[in-house]
Structure 1
Amino acid sequence: MAVFPASGNTPVSTFIPQIWAAELMTPLREELVLASPTCVNSDYEGEINGPGDQVHINSLNRPTVVNYSRNADVNAQLLDTDDQILAIDHGKAFAFAVDDVDRIQSAGGGELIFKATEESIQALRIAADAYVGGKMIAGALAANKVTFTVGTDDVFNTLVDYGVILDNADVPLFRRFAVVRPEIKAAMLKHDKFIASSYGSAVPVQNGVIGSLAGFTIAVTPHLPTGVEMIVGSPVATTYGDNLVSLESFRHPTKFAHVVRGLHVAGAKVTRPEALIIASAA
């Protein structure tokens, strides 16, 4: 996907941060795994403007079911919601300067700036996934923190057992996921019950999704938190919101160079901890 204008056609002097920020969020979100819609929801109200913001999450309380007999009155129950606060407590920034000589000598003139910005967005993606992974680990139930041994435990049977845990917690069957390390991905790809999606085809892999197994959408990333082999669950468990709140370019105040800098902020909260399973190395 082309993220930036064609090299050589757009000097930094015509840099429009509002447009670039919107376009850059698309590849950022396509590369996210734990922070993608595969694994989290965006059931929140409000606009995220910067670190320290608070976003309201309204969750509906389940109406009460009552006994009924013929000709009996059924009183209407007023719907009730729980208002929880999503703290925007994740902030990552990048800033780099490109000397005029380096910019002129690089292929395509502004190509160096564009590539450096792309690399910075990649770093923001890795940081966002790590942030969400940490929130999931902290928010999951202690009873749902289990162990998995790569090369010993059968991955299909393990996911079947994890499905039972989620079933007993009334977690919806729809959109269950398992985010795994590359070593577990290798075992899954060799399993005869694995159903590949776009993996291995000409269709780009987005959000790390490679297929399905035992009723779970499978995604892979090498950036799971240290010691964790799999994070399994449903996107109903975790709410996530983010924004690339600033992306700007300006002349360096003391050097013959252009500066590009950006700020990405996010917040995540586990609201249904029973819908997560954390499988750590044994």
Structure 2
Amino acid sequence: MAVKNFIPAIWEARLLEHLDKTLVYGNLVNRDYEGDIQQQGDTVKINQIGDITINDYDKSTGIKVEDLDSTQTTLTIDQRKYFAFTVDDLDAVQANVLLVDNAMQRASYGLRDAVDRYIAGLYAGAGVVDGLGTDEAPIAITSATKAYEALVDTKTALDEANVPSDGRFVVVPPTFYGYLLKDNRFVAAGTQKTDQVLQTGYIGDAAGFHIYQSNNVPNTDGVKYKVLAGTSAAVTFAQQLLRTEANRSETKFADIVRGQLVFGAKVVQPKALACLTANFK
């Protein structure tokens, strides 16, 4: 049977290539602990050092030594997704690079969408929210000027929280992007270099942010959009492709290719993540 000649590495390489390339939210987080997971249910203990007091020095009194203060948070790999589809002749498919590539591209699209929606849903953990709208009083963005002003207000909120300016991102819905295109202060992607990363959702820069577009920005029936901004230090993410395997179908003269992905994410630096609540209509 063709299933005996199944080569997992061929399929997994294609899947991971497309999965990483097309992530939006998933490419804006850190993966510092990804190597520590093996299966669903795994947990990673993350220790964080608190602030260290800076004192005035007086040679007559000497110095005071303080104990390090640390907090611990847990990253839990509690999400599991899978795909499964049939192929009539596995040997022929594996020999056809385009077919393998297309199959894994579609599988990775579905996994990517699930991962991105999960990470986007972590907006409730954002530590910077003051002045950026609420569910009861969202910011009304109805013009290019208001869209840019909302970015500036978000930048200011992060500045006041002492969030580093390097590598700041913001993920916006298509309507927000449409407004930005009407503002000359928005530097849209258009050069050869930036066009190469458009597939990751990157659309340009404004107000100190690298701006990304996604249809997965959380919202409630088309209103109260949760626009996340910050740095990759805010969220840690880990995923592991557990296995890709083939089995003979019991109902068809075909092989079944299936795969399983486990992942988890955690807001570990709330102050490095801002949430703008806005309406666009």
TM-score for the superposition, normalised by structure 2: 0.81
Change (3 A) 1:69 1:53: same
Residue in 1 that maps onto 2:107: 120
Matched, 1:130 2:117: yes
CA distance in 2, matches of 1:115, 1:158: 40
Contact 1:199–1:210 (CA under 8 A) maintained in structure 2: no
Measure how far apart 1:19 and its partner are.
5.3
CA deviation map 1:49-94 (0-9, x unaligned)? 2222112222222222112124653345454432211111221111
CA distance in 2, matches of 1:42, 1:99: 38
Change (3 A) 1:190 1:199: farther
Residue in 1 that maps onto 2:248: 251
Contact 1:34–1:132 (CA under 8 A) maintained in structure 2: yes
Matched, 1:34 2:25: yes
- Opposite residue 89 of structure 1, the aligned amino acid is D
Residue in 1 that maps onto 2:266: 269
3-state DSSP of counterpart to 1:35: helix
Fraction of identical pairs, as percent: 35
Residue in 2 that maps onto 1:234: 231
Among 199, 203, 207, the alignment partner of 2:196 is: 203
CA distance in 2, matches of 1:202, 1:45: 29
Contact 1:96–1:261 (CA under 8 A) maintained in structure 2: yes
Residue in 2 that maps onto 1:69: 58
| Structure with greater helix percent | 2
CA distance in 2, matches of 1:71, 1:202: 63
Measure how far apart 1:217 and its partner are.
0.8
User: For structure 2, which runs of at least 5 residues remain unmatched after alignment?
Assistant: none
Measure how far apart 1:173 and its partner are.
1.4
CA deviation map 1:249-272 (0-9, x unaligned)? 232245311111111111111123
- Opposite residue 276 of structure 1, the aligned amino acid is A
Among 11, 15, 28, the alignment partner of 1:24 is: 15
Contact 1:181–1:222 (CA under 8 A) maintained in structure 2: yes
Matched, 1:140 2:118: no
CA distance in 1, matches of 2:188, 2:5: 44
CA distance in 2, matches of 1:267, 1:171: 24
CA distance in 1, matches of 2:13, 2:67: 40
Change (3 A) 1:42 1:72: farther
Change (3 A) 1:58 1:199: farther
- Opposite residue 183 of structure 1, the aligned amino acid is T
CA distance in 2, matches of 1:139, 1:12: 45
Measure how far apart 1:118 and its partner are.
1.6
Q: Number of matched residues?
A: 266
Change (3 A) 1:23 1:124: same
User: For structure 1, which runs of at least 5 residues remain unmatched after alignment?
Assistant: 1-10
Contact 2:234–2:268 (CA under 8 A) maintained in structure 1: yes
Residue in 2 that maps onto 1:57: 46
Matched, 1:223 2:216: yes
CA distance in 2, matches of 1:143, 1:12: 57
Q: How does 1:166-181 map to 2 (within 5 A)?
A: 166-181=158-173
CA distance in 2, matches of 1:204, 1:45: 24
Residue in 2 that maps onto 1:192: 184
TM-score for the superposition, normalised by structure 1: 0.81
RMSD: 2.9
Residue in 1 that maps onto 2:276: 278
Measure how far apart 1:235 and its partner are.
2.1
Contact 2:86–2:254 (CA under 8 A) maintained in structure 1: yes
CA deviation map 1:172-217 (0-9, x unaligned)? 2121111001111122122211123457865242421111100011
CA deviation map 1:2-43 (0-9, x unaligned)? xxxxxxxxx87543324542452232112111121x2x2223
CA distance in 2, matches of 1:69, 1:191: 55
Change (3 A) 1:271 1:250: same
Change (3 A) 1:112 1:203: closer
